[in-house]
Amino acid sequence: MFNQSRPAEAVDQHDRRDVYTTQSDGGRRQGRIRGVASNGWPVEYPGKRVEFKRVIGEDHYVVLHCYQHWPGDRDWAGIDIFRLDDSGKIVEHWDVLQPIAETSANQNTMF
C-alpha cells in the first residue's frame, strides 16, 4: 500500500490507534501513526518507493532494512523497528535513516 501512495490505508489496517508511540522523536508523538500520511511523506513524494532488503521478525518485533527511492532527491538507507501487540498491531516504532553515499571506502554496500 505504501508504494502505491496509500499510506493512510496501511495505517488503518496495521496500527493501534490508542497506544501507538514512535521513538523517532523521543517518544513525543503518540496516538495514530497517521503522521506518516499527514506530514507530507509520501504525499509530497508521490513517486517514492521502498524496497525491503531484509525483514527480520522475532517475538513481538519486526525489523525492516529498506532502500528508499525519493524522486528528485538522493536515495536513502533506513531501518525501521516495530513492536507489535498480541493481535499483530503496531504499538511502538523506532527508525534511523541515512543518505546512501555515492562512494565507499571499501567494497561493502549498504545492503
* Domain housing 35: 2-99
Pairing mode, strands 61-69 and 76-84: antiparallel
pLDDT of residue 73: 75
Distance CA 64, CA 103 (A): 24
Classify residue 105: in a domain, yes or no.
Answer: no
Helix (H, G, I), strand (E, B) or coil at 4: helix
Classify residue 106: in a domain, yes or no.
Answer: no
**The three grid cell numbers given for residue 59, joined into one nine-digit string:** 517475538
* Greater model confidence, 20 or 93: 93
Q: How confident is the model at residue 93 (pLDDT cuts 50, 70, 90)?
A: confident
* Greater model confidence, 90 or 53: 53
CATH number at residue 45: 3.10.450.50
The answer on pLDDT for 74 being more than 70 is yes
Classify residue 110: in a domain, yes or no.
Answer: no
Between the alpha carbon of residue 47 and those of residues 6, 18, 44, 69, 78, the distances in Å are: 12, 31, 9, 8, 17
pLDDT of residue 37: 45
The answer on pLDDT for 32 being more than 70 is no
Percent of the chain at pLDDT > 90 equals 26
Classify residue 24: in a domain, yes or no.
Answer: yes
pLDDT of residue 70: 83
Distance CA 111, CA 106 (A): 13
* Site of grid cell 505504501: 2
The answer on pLDDT for 22 being more than 80 is no
Distance CA 81, CA 62 (A): 6
The answer on pLDDT for 33 being more than 70 is no
Classify residue 95: in a domain, yes or no.
Answer: yes
| Contact status, residue 63 vs residue 49, Cβ threshold 8 Å | no
For the chain, what is the domain count?
1
Full-model pTM: 0.69
Classify residue 53: in a domain, yes or no.
Answer: yes
